[in-house]
């Protein structure tokens, strides 16, 4: 064997030995430094595609606004996203099924998720903790916004940030200025004390009927269907107006106290009388969440309470209708003369603990909650929802005193009295809302003509049972 051939063999032997050594070192290192399972999971399925389930807007502009955000994010980052819209009624049950099947989307946003879903999922340890997204910008949120996204995790025995605030809202009253003018009334005639306020609309209905206009004065939703969350939102505002506090600061139910029980009966009876006297449309017991909007926009009712600015957003492009025909009013003073305190709803996006692409979802959220991106998005939705960050409120769009709707909502949400609903601190109450216990009671005292005392008794019994069930978890 010549020298060159021996050198070749020697070289090949050295290479083989080195290869074996490198392999052994790699195996050892992999045992010492195991790969991050989160990163590994997100790199298994390439190309990575973020799955977003979002509630369909009341207006097309809302869906287009979010699609624009997603498109811009994809262009800037190179990542892919699959955005799907679902109606308010479809999204919650679809997500519940997906979570049970361990196939949740990466990210979702529902306008009623913060009321009927997120507190329960956080309690069950099924939502991703998003403290790393919130804490760096926490100072830009108000105390109530922070409280709204803080939920209890029963498995980990802690409270933490499980939602990312997208926008906030409360309940307003919308009405037709033009219909009032047709019977010699104007916006400045609307009283501010409780009883006179509601009688004003009733008297306007009487005058409209004298002109052969078959228009109901009060567009109050009464449906007991589980999907009709507008029903319980308004009823809880009426409870607040009457200072009926269902829970104390320790989370203990107060509904068995004679004063609270009697207050609930009083509120149910108030609804029943308005319905029986013909001021609320008979079919309001079947209304979905959009039907009060549609009844007002079609001039079938004179006024309706609604928990967003979706009604004026629908007619925003028609300046005459927006400014001269439609109107907005605040709730009157409470029956005892105190200023009204409004129920605050903070609409949130959440990431699921078992999402395939949690890191990617957080990347998208970080982009989405940038002040300018948020400003552009909320403006594009025609102002249906309002800002949650102080830096966004300062934009001239929300300081426009010439826009009656924006001026009213800005006043209430930045200067008025608001409070969060009970489910934020006490997740058992989210089931009360999910079952629409108050909507069922309202249907009973109106369409079914059940006595308010009986309807209240049934509702109270079910609420107590729900809390007892949660106490055992």
What lies within 8 Å, CB to CB, of 97 at 6+ separation is none
Contact of 391 with 371, CB cutoff 8 Å? yes
pLDDT tens digits along 129-153: 999 999 999 999 999 999 999 999 9
Tally of helices (H runs) and strands (E runs) in the chain: 22, 12
**Residue 16: per-residue pLDDT:** 42
What lies within 8 Å, CB to CB, of 348 at 6+ separation is 109, 113, 114, 118, 148, 149, 163, 164, 165, 166
Contact of 54 with 85, CB cutoff 8 Å? yes
pLDDT band at 58 (very low <50, low <70, confident <90, very high): confident
pLDDT tens digits along 426-459: 999 999 999 999 999 999 999 999 999 999 999 9
Contact of 47 with 360, CB cutoff 8 Å? no
Contact of 234 with 223, CB cutoff 8 Å? no
**Residue 42: per-residue pLDDT:** 53
pLDDT band at 48 (very low <50, low <70, confident <90, very high): confident
Kindly state the average pLDDT of the residues 156-181: 97
276 Cα distance to chain centroid = 32
Kindly state the average pLDDT of the residues 228-255: 94
pLDDT tens digits along 328-386: 999 999 999 999 999 999 999 999 999 999 999 999 999 999 999 999 999 999 889 99
Dihedral sign from CA coordinates of 257, 259, 262, 266: negative
**Residue 88: per-residue pLDDT:** 85
pLDDT above 70 (res 6): no
**Residue 472: per-residue pLDDT:** 84
Kindly state the average pLDDT of the residues 3-16: 42
pTM for the predicted model, two decimal places: 0.88
Contact of 197 with 332, CB cutoff 8 Å? yes
Transcribe 7-53 into DSSP letters: HHHHHHHHHHHHHHHHHHHHHHHHHHS---HHHHHHHHSSS-EEEEE
* Mean of the per-residue pLDDT values of the chain: 91
**Residue 226: per-residue pLDDT:** 86
Contact of 293 with 39, CB cutoff 8 Å? no
C-alpha 392/C-alpha 110 separation (Å) is 21
pLDDT tens digits along 181-193: 999 999 999 999 9
Q: Rounded to the nearest 5°, which phi and psi values hold at 115? A: -95, -45
Express as a percent the part of the chain with pLDDT over 90.
85
């Amino acid at each position: 064997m010549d020298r060159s051939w021996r050198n070749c063999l020697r070289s090949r032997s050295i290479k083989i030995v080195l290869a074996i050594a490198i392999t052994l070192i790699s195996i050892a290192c992999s045992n010492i430094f195991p790969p991050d399972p989160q990163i590994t999971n997100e790199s298994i399925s390439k190309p990575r595609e973020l799955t977003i389930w979002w509630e369909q807007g009341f207006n097309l502009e809302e869906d287009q606004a979010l699609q624009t955000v997603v498109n811009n994010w994809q262009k800037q980052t190179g990542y892919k996203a699959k955005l799907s819209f679902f109606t308010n009624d479809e999204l919650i049950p679809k997500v519940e099924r997906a979570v049970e099947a361990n196939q949740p989307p990466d990210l979702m946003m529902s306008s009623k998720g913060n009321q009927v879903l997120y507190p329960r999922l956080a309690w069950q340890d099924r939502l991703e903790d998003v403290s790393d997204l919130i804490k760096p910008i926490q100072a830009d949120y108000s105390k109530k916004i922070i409280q709204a996204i803080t939920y209890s995790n029963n498995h980990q025995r802690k409270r933490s940030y499980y939602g990312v605030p997208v926008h906030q809202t409360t309940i307003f009253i919308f009405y037709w200025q033009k219909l009032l003018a047709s019977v010699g009334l104007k916006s400045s005639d609307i009283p501010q004390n409780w009883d006179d306020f509601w009688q004003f609309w009733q008297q306007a209905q009487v005058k409209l009927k004298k002109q052969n206009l078959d228009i109901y004065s009060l567009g109050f939703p009464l449906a007991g269907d589980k999907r009709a969350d507008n029903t319980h939102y308004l009823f809880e505002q009426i409870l607040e107006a009457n200072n009926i506090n269902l829970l104390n600061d320790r989370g203990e139910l107060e509904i068995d106290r004679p004063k609270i029980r009697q207050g609930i009966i009083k509120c149910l009876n108030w609804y029943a009388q308005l319905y029986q006297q013909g001021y609320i449309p008979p079919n309001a017991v079947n209304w979905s969440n959009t039907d009060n909007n549609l009844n007002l926009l079609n001039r079938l009712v004179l006024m309706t309470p609604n928990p967003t600015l979706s009604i004026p957003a629908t007619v925003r492009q028609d300046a005459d209708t927006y400014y001269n025909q439609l109107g907005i009013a605040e709730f009157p003073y409470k029956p005892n003369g105190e200023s009204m305190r409004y129920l605050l709803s903070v609409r949130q996006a959440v990431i699921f603990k078992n999402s395939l692409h949690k890191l990617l979802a957080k990347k998208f959220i970080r982009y989405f909650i940038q002040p300018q991106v948020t400003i552009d998005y909320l403006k594009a939705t025609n102002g249906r929802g309002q800002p949650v960050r102080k830096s966004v409120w300062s934009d001239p769009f929300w300081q426009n005193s010439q826009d009656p709707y924006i001026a009213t909502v800005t006043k209430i949400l930045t200067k008025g009295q608001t409070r969060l609903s009970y489910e934020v601190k006490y997740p058992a109450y989210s089931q009360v809302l999910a079952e629409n216990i108050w909507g069922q009671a309202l249907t009973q005292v109106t369409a079914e003509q059940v006595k308010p005392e009986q309807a209240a008794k049934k509702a109270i019994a079910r609420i107590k049972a729900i809390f007892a069930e949660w106490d055992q978890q």
